[in-house]
Amino acid sequence: MMELTRKGEYAIRGIVYLAGKQTDKVCLLSDIAEAVNVPPTFLAKIFQQFSKIGLVKSYRGTGGGFMLGRPPEQITLLEVVEAVEGPILPNRCVAAPTDCERSCDCNVHPVWQRVQSEVRQVLGGVSLKDLAICK
């Protein structure tokens, strides 16, 4: 359980690749897709989502392509993952506690909150700079 989807995997691969390039150079989507071995049409959708929230900047037309929207050390893995997979929510009740508070069953609630918090902390502590470094 708790599995990242393909979309999430591709998203990470794509943007980490971008983070490994010079910050001032645009990359063609088709090049990125080929480099990280992801269907270009699918990656296009993903990068559109990135673009909307400013994780990447896009340029159309001849000479166009993508660049990181911010320096790689200022983009966390958490942002990338949540951009395409939605917020980290181990359980509905963490999002909507209304439905949950009644009945003593919900000793479970705080546990899911801890899970959420731990995961966010791990992912939030890693930047694209960390990930792009080639050992």
Q: Which residues would be at the binding site for a second copy (CB under 8 A)? A: 1-5, 8-9, 12-13, 16-17, 20, 36, 77, 81-82, 85-92, 104-105, 107-108, 111-112, 114-115, 118-119, 122-123, 126, 130-135
11 HSE (CA, 13 A, CB side): 25
19 HSE (CA, 13 A, CB side): 24
Q: Judged by CB, which is closer to DNA: 14, or 72?
A: 14
Q: How many residues make up the chain in this entry? A: 135
Q: Minimum distance from CB of 74 to DNA (Å)?
A: 20
Binding residues for DNA, rule: CB under 7 A, are 5-7, 10, 28-30, 39, 41-42, 44-45, 47-48, 51-52, 58-66
Q: Minimum distance from CB of 14 to a second copy (Å)?
A: 10
Q: Judged by CB, which is closer to DNA: 17, or 47?
A: 47
**E-strand stretches of 1-135:** 56-59, 65-68
Task: Enumerate the β-bridge partners of residue 59.
Answer: 65
Q: From DNA, a second copy, none, which one binds at residue 132 (CB under 5 to 8 Å depending on kind)?
A: a second copy
C-alpha span between 67 and 57 (Å, rounded): 5
Q: From DNA, a second copy, none, which one binds at residue 65 (CB under 5 to 8 Å depending on kind)?
A: DNA
Under DSSP, the state recorded for 100 is: T
Q: Which residue has the tokens 């949950």?
A: 100
Q: Which two tokens stand for residue 96?
A: 């909507």
Q: From a second copy, DNA, none, which one binds at residue 64 (CB under 5 to 8 Å depending on kind)?
A: DNA
